[in-house]
Structure 1
C-alpha cells in the first residue's frame, strides 16, 4: 500500500510539471485594424509593422505549441511505462 501511495505522489508531482508546460505558450494579441480609410492612411506604417509582428508572433506561437506537444507526448509515454510498472507491482502484491 505504501508503494501505491508513493506512485500516486510521483504521478501528482509530474502532473504539476505538465500543467506548467501546457500553460507557457500564449497566443499573440491580434493587431488593431481600422476600417475607416482615413485611419488606414494615417496609420499605414504602424499597421504594416503591427501586422508583420503579429505574423512573426503567430509563427513563434505555433512552434511553441509543437514543442509542447512533443514534450507532453514524451511525458505521457514515460508515465504510461511507469504506470505499467506500478500495475505490475500491484498485481504482484495481490498474488
Structure 2
C-alpha cells in the first residue's frame, strides 16, 4: 500500500508543477501599426522600435514554449514509469 500512496503523492506534486509551468509563457502583444501614411511617417522611429521589440519577444516566447515542452515531456516520462509500477503492483495484488 505504501507504493500506491507514494505514487499518488508524486502525481499530485507533478500536477501542481505542470499547472505552474503551463502558465509561464505569455505571448507578446502585437504592436500598433497605423494605416495612415502621415501616421507612419510621424511615428516611423517608434514603429520600427516597437516592431523589433515585438519580434524579439516572439523569439523569447517560442524559446519559452520549447523549454516548457521539454519539461512536460520529461514529466510525462516520469509519470509513465510511475504508472507502469502502479499497474505492476495492481497485477501482483490480483495474483
Q: Which runs of 5+ in 1 are unaligned?
A: none
Q: Find the counterpart in structure 2 of residue 45 from structure 1.
A: 45
The TM-score normalised by the length of structure 1 is 0.91
Q: In 2, Cα distance between the equivalents of 1:2 and 1:78?
A: 18
Q: Find the counterpart in structure 1 of residue 65 from structure 2.
A: 65
Q: Which runs of 5+ in 2 are unaligned?
A: none
Q: Find the counterpart in structure 1 of residue 31 from structure 2.
A: 31
Q: In 1, Cα distance between the equivalents of 2:76 and 2:10?
A: 14
The TM-score normalised by the length of structure 2 is 0.91
* Equivalences, count: 95
Q: Find the counterpart in structure 1 of residue 77 from structure 2.
A: 77
Q: Secondary structure at the match of 1:28?
A: coil
TM-superposed CA distance for 1:2, in Å, is 6.2
TM-superposed CA distance for 1:9, in Å, is 3.2
Cα RMSD after superposing both structures: 1.3
Q: In 1, Cα distance between the equivalents of 2:10 and 2:78?
A: 12
When structure 1 is superposed on structure 2, of 33-42 and 3-12 the one drifting more is 3-12
| 8 A Cα contact 1:4 1:90, kept in partner | no
Moved over 2 A (4+): 1-10
Q: Secondary structure at the match of 1:64?
A: helix
Q: In 2, Cα distance between the equivalents of 1:4 and 1:94?
A: 15
Q: Find the counterpart in structure 1 of residue 88 from structure 2.
A: 88
